[in-house]
């Protein structure tokens, strides 16, 4: 198969090539108008497309179809319906109508809606997103869809994203028009770099915490951590390599442009990066990538962990969201070769800087999950403070603009924007800072805060809308200007002066930055329940409502859903810890104490001249740990009960953070201490060294 990548690529996708080949030309033309210009699709066209799509899918072995959508859980949902339709004489035909293609009605009542459904109709429907191609997966024709209620509220992650893409397109098009460019559409492009861990299946199965929560809730550090940094880009283990090959091939069949794969910093950690694509397509593809990683790993005796922090003390996993805006001809974040192109670049750059500064709190909500709390600010991922890294060269340019002084960069030049050309920024100088949450990397921004397990829709919805807002303000102003060039220069200067505080090129991991950021007035919300209230801050609701991306009700529902999710996750973790501690760890310590005590008394029985000092010291230590553990168990159980009894979601999520998490940490700390002195064959959980440093046989 590997020899034939070109043939395999997209072979399970109803892409434009297939459409062109199989659809009658009039149908193809209307569908193309829908795809590229957002024209509505009439039912006649949908009927033809559905029938052709069905035949194509059946040739690939499909017997069912599903509307594939992304409820507020962030993961994908599917419900399979057969094409089969009995005709009454004991035989059946295979049917799939245009109506079934464009609209579905899953039973929505079990998906989280944050109270939305109490205020409106209980039912929701899924609507075809024709801009993301249908594909065949596991004998099922999958149709990417958006999921909305009958009264129009978004019940999913995709609907607001599509709305935000449109908002950004509209405003960016206005700006380009002022630069004399008449374009149909501006798309947002995303390249998500996906990090993940692979552990051996037998280790996974031996750990209740991994099975139930995706992360280890106990585990003393291995003698060797990642300090040698030998794993990054290191040789890939043979079975991991075999896994990666099958993953690539499966993704290529599905039209996912998987491009780069390598070992990451932490042992057993890896990364896959695709070639970037339009935002909604890239996100659909990322969700497929995560699904395939989890499905394929067990074939190689492995389990894929997408949790943000599977192992304490070892780097966690993120998902870098590379983001830009493009027309069919140019990347709007690419500095140009002429003064006018530079000016245009600076306008879009300024809009991003302003957007990120003004809506940092909202952007922070998009990465606020219980799993990601372990990463942000933990000296391995960006801090919880949002700042922008632009690189030295661009910062010098920006400073020159803001202070009206000559630019003294590597290429000496006067920063008179009407005349000069910006230097081309080499990737080297822009990409050095790995500690920044939002870095300019030459021709795109890389938002590094999202967690590995997240659906990137939230982050990109917010980013697109906030940038649309700033572009709208610019367009309103510039459309009225008498002298366009002067007005643009003034606007760029003003933006940079007003929002200079969000630009930071230093070490984002340092303690000094936290102090400096506070001085600059940048928000620093360290954990999810503290960050999420920004979802319902009036200024943020105004933003989303202004562009029709989300309503106030939708924002409130999302706030509820996320806070509830936080409480539920910590609750599951707490209960899992209690069960493991009571049923596995304390019994193990007791059994080992019994063994040590028997050894001591056996020695004593032979002669009281034989020392039992080692046994006594060990017993004292183990017994102390067992006592502390038992108290920690009681404290955690009480904290969990109290938090779980709270009904108000805000208070509840905060209680889980403020009192349950610390009790979990206490229990873990004493259990981990006991692990380091307990006999290996008594300890019921595979250790960190075994899980992370196994030798391949
Ligand atoms: P890194 O140095 O962080 O590993 P790469 O240069 O390999 O970054 O690119 C990371 C990701 O950025 C890739 O998925 C790539 O396709 C994506 N990317 C490149 N250009 C753009 C763009 N204009 N818009 C969005 N993503 C982009
Ligand atoms: Mg990156």
Q: What DSSP string describes 629-658? A: HHHHHHHHHHHHHHHHH--SHHHHHHHIII
Q: Using an 8 Å Cβ cutoff, are 672 and 216 in contact?
A: no
Q: Using an 8 Å Cβ cutoff, are 594 and 619 in contact?
A: no
Q: Which residue, by CA, sits nearest to atom 11 of ligand 1?
A: 191
Q: Using an 8 Å Cβ cutoff, are 180 and 478 in contact?
A: no
How confident is the prediction for the chain on average, in pLDDT?
91
Q: Using an 8 Å Cβ cutoff, are 101 and 128 in contact?
A: yes
Q: Tell me which residue has tokens 């201490």.
A: 673
Residue 426: band (very low, low, confident or very high) from pLDDT cuts 50, 70, 90: low
Residue scoring higher pLDDT (401 or 659): 659
* 273 ligand 1 Cβ < 6 A: yes
User: What would the mean pLDDT of 455-476 be, rounded to a whole number?
Assistant: 98
Residue 413: band (very low, low, confident or very high) from pLDDT cuts 50, 70, 90: very low
What is the CA(441)–ligand 2 centre distance, in A? 9
What is the CA(278)–ligand 2 centre distance, in A? 18
Residue 233: band (very low, low, confident or very high) from pLDDT cuts 50, 70, 90: confident
Residue 643: band (very low, low, confident or very high) from pLDDT cuts 50, 70, 90: very high
What is the CA(322)–ligand 1 centre distance, in A? 6
Pocket test for ligand 1, best of 428, 444, 445, 448 (most atoms within 8 A of CB): 444
Q: Tell me which residue has tokens 């996750």.
A: 569
**pLDDT at residue 583 in the model:** 98
Strands 438-440 and 388-389, by their bridges, are: parallel
- Ligand 1 atom nearest the C-alpha of 273 is 14
Q: Which residue, by CA, sits nearest to atom 6 of ligand 1?
A: 441
Token pair recorded at residue 540: 């943020």
- Ligand 1 atom nearest the C-alpha of 190 is 25
CATH class of 2-155: alpha beta
**pLDDT at residue 421 in the model:** 52
Question: What dihedral angle (degrees, nearest 10) is formed by the CA atoms of 560, 562, 563, 565?
Answer: 120
Whole-model pTM over 0.85: yes
Measured at the alpha carbon of residue 26, what is the angle toward residues 126 and 16, in degrees to the nearest 5?
A: 60
The residues with which 258 forms a beta bridge, in sequence order, are 274
Q: Using an 8 Å Cβ cutoff, are 194 and 273 in contact?
A: yes
Q: Using an 8 Å Cβ cutoff, are 458 and 73 in contact?
A: no
Question: What dihedral angle (degrees, nearest 10) is formed by the CA atoms of 495, 501, 503, 504?
Answer: 170
What is the CA(191)–ligand 1 centre distance, in A? 5
* 321 ligand 1 Cβ < 6 A: no
Token pair recorded at residue 82: 């057969």
- DSSP code per residue over 248-274: HHHHHHTT--EEEEEE-SSTTEEEEEE
- Ligand 1 atom nearest the C-alpha of 271 is 4
Q: How far is CA 460 from CA 184, 322, 382, 387, 548, in A?
A: 21, 10, 18, 17, 15
* 444 ligand 1 Cβ < 6 A: yes
* 527 ligand 1 Cβ < 6 A: no
- Give percent of the chain above pLDDT 90: 75
Contacts of 134 (CB under 8 A, 6+ apart): 13, 14, 53, 57, 141, 142, 143, 144
pLDDT tops 60 at residue 120? no
CATH class of 565-692: mainly alpha
Listed residue (549, 529, 194, 182) closest to 370, CA to CA: 529
* 577 ligand 1 Cβ < 6 A: no
245-286 pLDDT per residue, tens: 999 999 999 999 999 988 888 899 999 999 999 999 999 999
* 442 ligand 1 Cβ < 6 A: no
User: What would the mean pLDDT of 630-639 be, rounded to a whole number?
Assistant: 98
Measured at the alpha carbon of residue 349, what is the angle toward residues 483 and 280, in degrees to the nearest 5?
A: 120
Pocket test for ligand 1, best of 188, 258, 276 (most atoms within 8 A of CB): 276
- Ligand 1 atom nearest the C-alpha of 260 is 7
Q: Using an 8 Å Cβ cutoff, are 95 and 47 in contact?
A: no
Pocket test for ligand 1, best of 172, 186, 191 (most atoms within 8 A of CB): 191
Ligand with the closest atom to the CA of 445: 1
What is the CA(189)–ligand 1 centre distance, in A? 10
Residue length, the chain? 697
**pLDDT at residue 122 in the model:** 55
Rounded Cα gap, residues 692 and 593, in angstroms: 28
- Ligand 1 atom nearest the C-alpha of 274 is 14
Q: Tell me which residue has tokens 């009036």.
A: 538
User: What would the mean pLDDT of 316-338 be, rounded to a whole number?
Assistant: 92
**pLDDT at residue 548 in the model:** 96
Write the DSSP symbol of residue 222.
P
What is the CA(382)–ligand 2 centre distance, in A? 12
Q: Which residue, by CA, sits nearest to atom 13 of ligand 1?
A: 191
* 194 ligand 1 Cβ < 6 A: no
Write the DSSP symbol of residue 582.
I
**pLDDT at residue 612 in the model:** 96
pLDDT tops 80 at residue 332? yes
- Give percent of the chain above pLDDT 70: 93
Q: Tell me which residue has tokens 């559409």.
A: 185
pLDDT tops 60 at residue 133? yes
Residue 419: band (very low, low, confident or very high) from pLDDT cuts 50, 70, 90: very low
Rounded Cα gap, residues 132 and 284, in angstroms: 8
What is the CA(321)–ligand 1 centre distance, in A? 9
**pLDDT at residue 111 in the model:** 78
Rounded Cα gap, residues 453 and 73, in angstroms: 11
Write the DSSP symbol of residue 221.
P
**Region of poorest pLDDT, from 112-116, 310-314, 365-369, 644-648:** 112-116
Rounded Cα gap, residues 675 and 696, in angstroms: 25
Write the DSSP symbol of residue 411.
S
Residue 39: band (very low, low, confident or very high) from pLDDT cuts 50, 70, 90: confident
* 448 ligand 1 Cβ < 6 A: no
Residue 430: band (very low, low, confident or very high) from pLDDT cuts 50, 70, 90: low
Maximum CA extent, the chain: 104
- DSSP code per residue over 74-110: SS-B---EESEEE-SSS-EEE---HHHHHEE---GGG
Fold of 165-550: Creatine Kinase; Chain A, domain 2 (3.30.590)
pLDDT tops 80 at residue 116? no
Neighbours of 606 (CB within 10 A): 8
Listed residue (185, 167, 31) closest to 98, CA to CA: 31
pLDDT tops 50 at residue 415? no
Residue 394: band (very low, low, confident or very high) from pLDDT cuts 50, 70, 90: confident
Q: How far is CA 455 from CA 136, 157, 282, in A?
A: 22, 8, 11
* 275 ligand 1 Cβ < 6 A: yes
Residues with Cβ–ion distance below 5 A, ligand 2: 193, 320
Token pair recorded at residue 88: 């009454």
What is the CA(319)–ligand 2 centre distance, in A? 8
What is the CA(446)–ligand 2 centre distance, in A? 7
What crossing angle do the helices spanning 613-645 and 586-606 adopt, rounded to 10°?
160
Residue scoring higher pLDDT (149 or 656): 656
pLDDT tops 90 at residue 290? yes
User: What would the mean pLDDT of 312-333 be, rounded to a whole number?
Assistant: 95
568-626 pLDDT per residue, tens: 999 999 999 999 999 999 999 999 999 999 999 999 999 999 999 999 999 999 999 99
Query: For the chain, which residues make up each domain, given as ranges?
Result: 2-155, 165-550, 565-692
Rounded Cα gap, residues 442 and 390, in angstroms: 9
What is the CA(194)–ligand 2 centre distance, in A? 9
Residue scoring higher pLDDT (416 or 375): 375
Neighbours of 448 (CB within 10 A): 24
- Ligand 1 atom nearest the C-alpha of 192 is 14
User: What would the mean pLDDT of 89-105 be, rounded to a whole number?
Assistant: 91
């Amino acid at each position: 198969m590997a020899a034939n990548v070109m043939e395999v690529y997209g072979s399970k996708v109803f892409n434009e090539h297939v459409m062109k080949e199989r659809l009658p030309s009039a149908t193809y033309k209307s569908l193309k108008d829908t795809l590229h210009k957002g024209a509505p699709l009439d039912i006649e066209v949908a009927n033809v497309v559905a029938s052709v799509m069905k035949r194509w899918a059946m040739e690939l072995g499909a017997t069912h179809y599903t509307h594939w959508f992304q409820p507020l859980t962030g993961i994908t949902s599917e419900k399979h319906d057969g094409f089969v339709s009995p005709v009454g004489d004991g035989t059946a035909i295979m049917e799939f109508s245009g109506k079934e293609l464009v609209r579905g009605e899953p039973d929505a009542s079990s998906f989280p809606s944050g109270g939305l459904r109490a205020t409106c109709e209980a039912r929701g429907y899924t609507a075809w997103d024709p801009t993301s191609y249908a594909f065949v997966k596991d004998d099922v024709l999958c149709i990417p869809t958006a999921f909305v209620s009958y009264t129009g509220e978004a019940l999913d992650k995709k609907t607001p994203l599509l709305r935000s893409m449109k908002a950004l397109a509209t405003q960016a098009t206005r700006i380009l028009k002022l630069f004399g460019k008449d374009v149909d559409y501006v798309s947002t492009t995303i390249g998500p770099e996906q990090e993940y861990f692979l552990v051996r299946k037998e280790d996974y199965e031996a750990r209740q915490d991994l099975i139930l929560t995706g992360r280890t809730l106990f585990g003393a550090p291995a003698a060797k951590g990642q300090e040698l940094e030998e794993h990054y880009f290191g040789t890939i283990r043979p079975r991991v390599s075999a896994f990666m090959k099958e993953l690539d091939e499966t993704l290529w069949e599905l039209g996912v442009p998987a491009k780069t794969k390598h070992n990451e910093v932490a042992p057993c950690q890896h990364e896959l990066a695709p070639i970037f694509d339009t935002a909604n397509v890239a996100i659909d593809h990322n969700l497929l990538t995560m699904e395939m990683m989890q499905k394929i790993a067990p074939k190689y005796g492995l389990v894929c962990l997408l949790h943000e922090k599977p192992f304490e003390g070892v780097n966690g996993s993120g998902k870098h969201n590379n983001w830009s805006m493009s027309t069919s001809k140019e990347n709007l974040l690419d500095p140009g070769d002429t003064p006018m192109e530079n000016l245009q670049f600076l306008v879009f750059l300024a809009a991003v800087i302003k957007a990120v500064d003004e809506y940092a709190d909202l952007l922070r909500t998009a990465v606020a999950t219980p799993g990601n709390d372990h990463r942000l600010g933990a000296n391995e991922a960006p801090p919880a403070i949002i700042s922008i890294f632009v690189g030295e060269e661009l910062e010098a340019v920006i400073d020159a603009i803001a202070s009206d002084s000559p630019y003294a960069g590597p290429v000496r030049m006067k920063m008179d924007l009407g005349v000069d050309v910006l230097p081309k920024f080499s990737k080297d100088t822009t990409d050095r800072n790995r500690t920044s949450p939002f870095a300019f990397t030459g021709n795109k921004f890389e938002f590094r805060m999202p967690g590995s397990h997240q659906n990137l829709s939230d982050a990109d919805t917010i980013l697109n809308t906030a940038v649309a807002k700033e572009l709208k303000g610019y367009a309103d102003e510039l459309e009225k200007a008498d002298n366009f060039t002067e007005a643009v220069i003034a606007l760029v200067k003003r933006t940079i002066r007003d929002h200079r505080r969000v630009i930071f090129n230093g070490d984002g991991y340092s303690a000094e930055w936290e102090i400096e950021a506070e001085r600059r007035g940048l928000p620093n919300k360290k954990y999810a329940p503290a960050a999420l209230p920004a979802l319902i801050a009036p200024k943020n609701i105004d933003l989303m409502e202004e562009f029709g991306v989300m309503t106030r009700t939708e924002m409130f529902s999302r706030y509820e859903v996320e806070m509830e999710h936080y409480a539920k996750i910590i609750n599951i973790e707490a209960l899992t810890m209690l069960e493991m501690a009571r049923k596995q760890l304390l019994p193990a310590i007791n059994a080992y104490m019994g063994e040590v005590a028997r050894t001591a008394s056996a020695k004593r029985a032979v002669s009281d001249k034989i020392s039992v000092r080692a046994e006594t010291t060990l017993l004292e230590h183990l017994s102390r740990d067992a006592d502390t553990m038992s108290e920690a168990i009681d404290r955690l159980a009480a904290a969990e009960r109290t938090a779980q009894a709270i009904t108000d979601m805000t208070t509840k999520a905060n209680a889980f953070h403020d009192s349950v998490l610390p009790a979990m940490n206490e229990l873990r700390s004493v259990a981990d201490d006991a692990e380091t002195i307990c006999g290996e064959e008594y300890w019921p959980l595979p250790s960190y060294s075994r899980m992370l440093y196994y030798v391949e046989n």
